[in-house]
Amino acid sequence: MEVLTAIKTRRSIRKYLKDDISDEQINILLEAAMYAPSAGNAQPWHFIVIRDRETMNKIPTFHPYAKMLYEAPAAILVCGDLSSEKYPGRWVMDCSAATQNILLAAHTIGLGTVWIGIYPSEERMLPIIELFRIPANIIPVSLIAVGYPNENKEVPNRFKPERIHFEKF
């Protein structure tokens, strides 16, 4: 799939088939994540691959927007490593770029995903930190549900020329 097509046609998928996601597919997503740009090439990310059904079912009990995890066969937790950052505060952007790469890579190989926000919401971060025994220097940023789509979504026209400014606002 051509990159602009992938960007324009990727949708947030919240309903999944029960088919498993292979290790090879997960590795494709993680490799794409690790090719994301990062400030000073710090690459301050860590990833937790989640497939355990019991663990997946715990997350929606404290995260109000994670109900799709009841159906998703896998998820990837994207975390930022504060001890790896070169430029303070840039780890959030770095991990967001890695998250977007996962979303686009998944779409290009026929998988559906949805970005579930974790950071900066403490009521979401703290239970995730506890559930996954995350060390103090690691911050959970986003959680991505991954699976084969069990829904089709229209592709809206999101291009808004009125939001474009040249030289000055």
Edge to edge, the sheet with strand 138-147 lists 45-50, 74-81, 138-147, 112-117
Token pair, residue 164, equals: 């474009």
Tell if the pTM clears 0.95, that is, is over it. Answer: yes
C-alpha 3/C-alpha 26 separation (Å) is: 20
* pLDDT-derived band at 107, boundaries 50, 70, 90: very high
Q: What are the structural domains, with CATH classification, of the chain? A: 12-151 (3.40.109.10)
pLDDT recorded at residue 157: 95
DSSP assigned state of 21: P
The strand pairing partners of 77, in sequence order, are 48, 143
φ and ψ of 127, to 5 deg:
-65, -35
Please tell me the predicted confidence (pLDDT) of residue 8: 97
| Residue pLDDT, tens place only, 4-51 | 999 999 999 999 999 999 999 999 999 999 999 999 999 999 999 999
- DSSP class of 22: P
- Distance CA(153)–CA(15), nearest Å, equals 11
Question: For residue 39, what pLDDT is reported?
Answer: 97
